[in-house]
Chains A and B, each alone.
Chain A
């Protein structure tokens, strides 16, 4: 294994991040941070693009042990009616949000494909950029969502370790490891423009997870040349159900992982959500992260009702308002960017799918 700093400019940097993140890496955290900062500044400038999640429904038929919305939780179940979806979106828009991520649980009769499609339709009339984080779908279904104005998909594999995956997903359609793994490709084949991947840090051995996640991103980039790629770094947060991670990830490792991804994938969007603390988010600003959620509510109907997160999918850690968060960014001379997309670019990436 190559351990000299020349590695950074070497072709090998595109093949693996192992020398940067393995247990006895010779690269100091400070060195990696400086590299990550330089690359981020050059490629993305002094900006962070912001988005907000909108939970449409928390009905779910899966049994993910780490999730507050798993079907055996006593969480009150609800879905937003279309009128409410519109009101939540108008509320977000009034807050300044121009980029929204729509979330649901597993496909079920309360929140099925047609429901989600209608929600995307409504959202695309209000927001310039609409992405989804929902149940895996067929290529044909993704195509229909693209036609309604959906341009982004977020889907975390949660863990790339098939054995852990089997243990953690006790029942429901999400038990199918490989169907989930292939979901980003079905979406890209359908013309979705950006795909966000990630692992839920804490579920399995983190170095292994990071290496597999990196390989997945590289694979998608090589095979889908028009794909916009982003990587998120969610860590397990306290949630209804009280699941405790078997492989907790500390701040040092998470920072190292983010720096490594920035160095080896200099052009890929790296995302940090409100799962993380204000001090960690502020500290990581400019050091690799280019996209952040803000003022998130993880409950269904959370924006209008101004509800807390006790019934949410997980507890939000950074609960600052948009104004407070933007102020913190500006204090670091980083411009918060709300609108960074134009619906005129919503057409599908057709060349990816010649049969279309």
Chain B
């Protein structure tokens, strides 16, 4: 199977995990291992070097072969996100940054205007910018133009488990995009991750669906299988859908046989 490419980095796994919401660090680490993921996102606000037993970052950096993508969750403006990204790079050494700017701490919907501005600045500073955005095809192209590595439209609200409520917009984004499209947020079950991959997403990012499952590590492995299946199906060429049966009396018989 071909690899996921982001910038000059390649990944065999197309499942990216979020690290919040787990009941304990051990379950989080076990879920990461079982998922086979090679990339996780972690919030700068959960970095806590003074308190090693609480620090998500130290737990994650001990896992071999795992790329960290710090995120700017908590930022409500482009300026805050840019500063957070610089601090994150300093602390983690990772060139990846998930730009996540949600000014309303209740519904956590990304701010397209601030996100665009932050991405523009960060891409020019050499970050591999992975923006979490509304599923808007025009915004996606604008972000591609300023140098984002992939674009990560939301399936539905963070933690909502509503699946890919934005599927038609995501199809448009995929159709038009010159950079990888990764569905981030809203997925509830492996079948939805599989559907996203069949649609043509290059990867999916999952957190709540795994962390809030009754058995997170088991669910992580289930998601891994679904993501692989969806990607393989896409590569194998999915049979086209037909809207209706073929008419027994052809509608164009009056045209006669083509000469």
A contact residues vs B (CB 8 Å cutoff): 41-47, 96, 98, 128, 193-194, 221, 225-229, 267-268, 330, 333-342, 344-345, 347, 349-351
Partner of B75, one of A43, A334, A345: A345
Asked if B76 is at the interface (CB within 8 A of a chain A CB), the reply is: yes
Q: Are A339 and B45 in contact (CB under 8 A)?
A: yes
- Given A46-B211, A339-B45, A342-B74, the answer on whether A96 and B51 have CB atoms closer than 8 Å is yes
Given contacts A96-B51, A96-B54, A221-B106, contact A341 B74 (CB under 8 A): yes
Residue among B21, B77, B107 making CB contact with A47, cutoff 8 Å? B21
Q: Is B234 an interface residue (CB 8 A)?
A: no
- B87 contacts across to A, CB distance below 8 A: 342, 344
**Residue-by-residue, is B9-28 near A (CB-CB < 8 Å gives 1, otherwise 0)?**
00000000000111111010
- A338, B212: Cα distance in complex, Å: 20
In the assembled complex, the CB of A43 is this many whole angstroms from the nearest CB of chain B, namely 5
Known: A333-B23, A339-B45. A344 touches B84 (CB 8 A): yes
A46 and B77 within 8 A (CB): no
Q: B192-234 interface mask toward A, CB cutoff 8 Å, 1 = contact, 0 = none?
A: 0000000000000000100110000000000000000000000
The answer to whether A340 touches B212 (Cβ under 8 A) is no
Contacts of A225 in B (CB 8 A): 103-104
Max chain A CB contacts within 10 Å: which of B21, B51, B87, B108? Answer: B21
Flag if A268 contacts B79 (CB, 8 Å): no
Looking at the complex, which one of B47, B75, B105, B211 makes contact with A45 (CB distance below 8 Å)?
A: B211
B interface majority secondary structure? loop
B residues apposed to A, CB below 8 Å: 20-25, 27, 44-48, 51, 54, 74-77, 79-80, 83-84, 87, 103-108, 159-161, 208, 211-212
A342→B76 contact, CB < 8 A: no
Q: List 19 A-B contacts (CB under 8 A).
A: A41-B212, A45-B159, A45-B208, A45-B212, A46-B23, A46-B24, A46-B211, A194-B105, A225-B104, A267-B107, A330-B23, A333-B23, A333-B24, A337-B46, A339-B45, A341-B74, A342-B45, A342-B74, A347-B79
A335 to B212, CA, bound (A): 12
Known contacts A226-B103, A333-B24; is A43 also within 8 Å of B159 by CB? Answer: yes
> In the bound complex, how far is the Cα of B76 from the Cα of A341, in angstroms?
13
B20–A344 CB distance below 8 A: no
B22-A349 in contact (CB<8A): no
Q: Are A345 and B22 in contact (CB under 8 A)?
A: no
B159 closest partner in A (C-beta): A43
What is the bound-complex CA distance between A337 and B51, given in angstroms? 11
Given contacts A44-B159, A45-B20, A46-B22, 9 further A-B contacts (CB under 8 A): A43-B159, A46-B23, A267-B106, A330-B24, A339-B46, A339-B47, A342-B47, A345-B84, A350-B77
- A193 CA to B212 CA in the complex, in Å? 27
Docked Cα-Cα span, A98 to B23, in Å, equals 19
Q: Is the CB of B23 within 8 A of A335?
A: yes
Give the CA-CA distance A351 to B161 in the complex, in Å. Answer: 31
Contact call A338/B161, Cβ cutoff below 8 A: no
Q: Is the CB of B24 within 8 A of A44?
A: no
Q: Give the CA-CA distance A42 to B106 in the complex, in Å.
A: 13
Which residue from B20, B45, B159 sits with its C-beta under 8 Å from A345?
Answer: B45
Give the residue of A128, A335, A344 whose beta carbon is less than 8 angstroms from that of B80.
A344
Q: Which residue of B lies closest to A194 (CB)?
A: B105
- Residues of chain B within 8 A (CB-CB) of A45 are 20-23, 159, 208, 211-212
Chain B residues whose C-beta falls within 8 Å of the C-beta of A341 in the assembled complex: 45, 74
State the Cβ distance, A92 to closest chain B Cβ, in Å.
Answer: 13
Q: Which residues of A contact B212 (CB under 8 A)?
A: 41-42, 45-46
**Which of A47, A226, A228, A344: most chain B CB closer than 10 A?**
A344
A339 & B51 in contact (Cβ 8 Å cutoff): yes
Shortest Cβ-Cβ A-B pairs, 6 listed? A45-B21, A46-B23, A267-B106, A333-B23, A228-B105, A339-B48
Among A42, A221, A227, A339, point to the contact of B54 (Cβ < 8 A): A339
Q: Is the CB of A347 within 8 A of B21?
A: no
Whether B80 contacts A44 by the Cβ 8 Å rule is no
Q: When the two chains form their complex, are residues B106 and A229 in contact, meaning their CB atoms are under 8 A apart?
A: yes
